[in-house]
């Protein structure tokens, strides 16, 4: 009888782990298939940090905002979820608002996390999970040449999940 309980507990434990892994995978797949495509301009960063291994580090104007641009119920603080509400301008998307709630009307929004709030200059730093673009081995130097003036194609699902599809040079 004791062996039977151990067997059932083991089956439940393994099943729960498989469900979590499957859910995360399905979430990214659904975002890549059903998400709205937005194109976001990258900004230049220190070229010595651009390429490390098999990925390129990207930065966007959305990664930093002033506390004055915050529209949340509570003041922004480290670890807090943030939504960058996006609007289209000249074929590219930019932030129109930063909040702790998603837009109510289906406006595309990137969901991120505040990683730092600097009190000396009132700036808030955010990561969205689209700051690394994985590339085939040996091709990073090509992207490195235009990474500071590139366009990132990102798919955003209705629930805020984002998926970085591609990075291309600005036309």
Residue 151 lies in a domain: yes
The average confidence (pLDDT) of the chain is 82
Q: How far apart are CA 8 and CA 38, in angstroms?
A: 46
65: nearest Cα among 130, 116, 131, 129: 116
More confident site: 64 or 56: 64
Whole-model pTM: value is 0.73
Examine the pLDDT at 52 and tell me if it is beyond 70: no
Contacts of 166 (CB under 8 A, 6+ apart): 152, 153
Mean pLDDT of 89-112: 91
Range of the domain at 67: 35-169
Residue 115 lies in a domain: yes
Q: How many domains does the chain have?
A: 1
Residue 127 lies in a domain: yes
The answer to whether 58 and 152 have CB atoms below 8 angstroms apart is yes
Residue 110 lies in a domain: yes
DSSP conformational letter for 57? E
The answer to whether 164 and 154 have CB atoms below 8 angstroms apart is yes
Examine the pLDDT at 113 and tell me if it is beyond 90: yes
- Report CA 137 to chain centroid distance, whole Å: 23
Residue 79 lies in a domain: yes
């Amino acid at each position: 009888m004791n062996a039977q309980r151990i067997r059932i507990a083991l089956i439940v434990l393994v099943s729960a782990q498989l469900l979590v892994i499957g859910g995360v995978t399905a979430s990214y797949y659904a975002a890549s298939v059903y998400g709205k495509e937005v194109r976001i301009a990258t900004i230049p960063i220190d070229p010595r940090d651009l390429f490390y291994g098999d990925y390129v580090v990207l930065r966007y104007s959305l990664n930093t905002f002033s506390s004055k641009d915050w529209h949340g119920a509570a003041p922004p603080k480290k670890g807090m979820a943030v939504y960058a509400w996006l609007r289209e301008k000249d074929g590219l998307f930019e932030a129109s608002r930063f909040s702790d709630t998603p837009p109510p009307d289906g406006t595309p929004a990137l969901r991120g996390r505040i990683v730092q709030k600097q009190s000396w200059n009132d700036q808030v730093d955010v990561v969205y999970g689209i700051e690394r673009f994985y590339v085939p081995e040996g091709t990073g130097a090509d992207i490195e040449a235009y990474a500071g003036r590139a366009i990132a194609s990102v798919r955003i699902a209705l629930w805020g999940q984002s998926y970085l599809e591609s990075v291309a040079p600005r036309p």
